């Protein structure tokens, strides 16, 4: 067994609906601007620029019902309601026709974003890592295996803050379908078991304040709630 000079990290993981087993998280990929209305609300033209990828660290994953400290260094923390795809068999250059066979299951995610820091990064043409990949930034509810939920091709997706509806959309309105996402991403990096893909958010992103509670829901996949300390 390899001997390390500092404590080695534990494998990050996320819950599985109706099971005590956990899904091990290898990498977290995210799609940007995958809903036309959200691309427009952020000042972009979805007809001119296709979606794209960014990443979060695996240990940014957060389970349902977490109570989190409010993130540092932001005055404008945003919720982003997203369908999360969990990969079970990996590969490179997966074709769109084969893509769904690589999906283990689906979950409800919240791609937490320091919007003010992201805007500053965009203006300075700097990377988004600290705006997107901070501690506890990847909220994910219990995963539903395809064997039970089937593939999620449509369904209402919502975000509520303190019970007030902020985002409503439909998973069917994604610019890149799940097959497109898996195929395109596998042409950029080798996918492997344990990869999670956040598939983008519909319009209506907005702020979360200290003391708020945020719930993301997708029809057929339940919901995930995160509460932030009042500070």
* Residues near Mn ion, by CB under 5 A: 80, 111, 201
| 58: Cα within 13 Å, side-chain hemisphere | 16
CA distance 71 to 137: 9
The residue (of 53 and 70) whose beta carbon lies closer to Mn ion is 53
- Least Å distance between CB 31 and Mn ion? 7
Contact in structure between 185 and 92 (CB atoms under 8 Å): no
Contact in structure between 190 and 178 (CB atoms under 8 Å): no
CA distance 199 to 177: 9
- Least Å distance between CB 111 and Mn ion? 3
Cβ-proximal residue to Mn ion, closest one: 111
The residue (of 25 and 145) whose beta carbon lies closer to Mn ion is 25
- Least Å distance between CB 3 and Mn ion? 39
The residue (of 29 and 104) whose beta carbon lies closer to Mn ion is 29
All residues at 6 or more sequence positions from 109 whose CB lies less than 8 Å from its CB, including other chains: 81, 82, 83, 84, 138, 139, 140, 141, 196, 198, 216, 224
- Least Å distance between CB 216 and Mn ion? 11
The residue (of 128 and 228) whose beta carbon lies closer to Mn ion is 128
The residue (of 64 and 80) whose beta carbon lies closer to Mn ion is 80
Q: SS3 sequence, 74-88?
A: CCCEEECEEEEEEEC
- Least Å distance between CB 67 and Mn ion? 22
End-to-end, the C-alpha distance of the chain in Å comes to 43
């Amino acid at each position: 067994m390899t001997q390390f000079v500092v404590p080695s990290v534990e494998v990050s993981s996320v819950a599985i609906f109706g099971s005590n087993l956990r899904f091990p998280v290898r990498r977290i990929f995210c799609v940007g601007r995958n809903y036309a209305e959200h691309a427009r609300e952020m000042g972009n033209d979805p007809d001119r620029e296709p979606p794209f990828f960014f990443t979060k660290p695996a240990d940014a994953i957060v389970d349902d019902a977490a109570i989190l400290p409010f993130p540092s260094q932001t005055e404008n923390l945003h919720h982003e309601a997203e369908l999360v795809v969990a990969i079970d068999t990996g590969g490179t250059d997966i074709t769109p026709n084969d893509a769904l066979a690589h999906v283990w299951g689906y979950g409800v995610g919240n791609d937490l974003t320091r919007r003010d820091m992201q805007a500053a990064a965009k203006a300075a043409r700097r990377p988004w890592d600290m705006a997107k990949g901070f501690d506890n930034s990847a909220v994910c509810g219990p995963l539903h295996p395809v064997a039970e939920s089937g593939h999620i091709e449509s369904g209402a997706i919502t975000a509520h803050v303190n019970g007030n509806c902020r985002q409503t959309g439909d998973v069917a309105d994604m610019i890149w379908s799940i097959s497109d996402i898996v195929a395109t991403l596998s042409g950029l990096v080798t996918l492997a078991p344990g990869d999670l893909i956040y598939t983008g958010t519909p319009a209506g992103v907005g702020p979360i304040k200290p003391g708020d509670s945020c719930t993301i829901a997708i029809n057929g996949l339940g919901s995930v709630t995160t509460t932030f300390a009042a500070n």
